[in-house]
Structure 1
Amino acid sequence: MSTSPQESLDLNEEEQLLYELLEGCFEQERKRVAKLLADKDDSNLFGQTEYDLRDRVHALGAKALEVVADERQKKGRLRAS
C-alpha cells in the first residue's frame, strides 16, 4: 500500500534538517523539469527528452549528496578525502 503525496511523513531531527536543506535545490530542479517537459510536443516527449530528464535527475541526486556531505562535514561527521 503506497502513501499519497499529501500524507505527511514523520521525520526525525536530522531528516527534517536535510529535508529543509534540500528543499531549495529540489524546487529549482522541479521547475527545470517542468520547463523541459512543457517545451516538448507529444512527438518529442520520448527519445532524447528521456535522456535529458535522466541527466537532470542524476544531477539532482549528485547535488543532494553534496549538500548532505557538506552538512556532515560541518558537524565533523565526515572526514575530507
Structure 2
Amino acid sequence: HAEATTIASLRRQAERCERCDLYKDATQLVFGEGPVDARVVLVGEQPGDREDLAGRPFVGPAGRILDECLHEAGIDRSECYLT
C-alpha cells in the first residue's frame, strides 16, 4: 500500500523529531496504530504517562473511557486508527 509506506515514513521521521520540546520529557515515541484505511480515526491531545511508558496510544485511563464509548457505539477498536 502507498498509505503504509507513507505512514511508515512519517513514523521514521517522528522517531527522531526534535522540532518542539515534547521529546525532552518523553521516554519514547507514541505513534498512531490501527488500519491505515480505517473509516474511524481518533486523535488525542497528547500521550499520557501510561501511553509514554507503553509506547501505544490510549492505553491509560482515557483509553479505558474510549473503550467503553466505542463499545456503547458498537465500534470495534481494532477497526479504528488511534493517534
TM-score by length of 2: 0.31
TM-score by length of 1: 0.32
Q: Which has the higher contact order (CA 8 A, sep 6+)?
A: 2
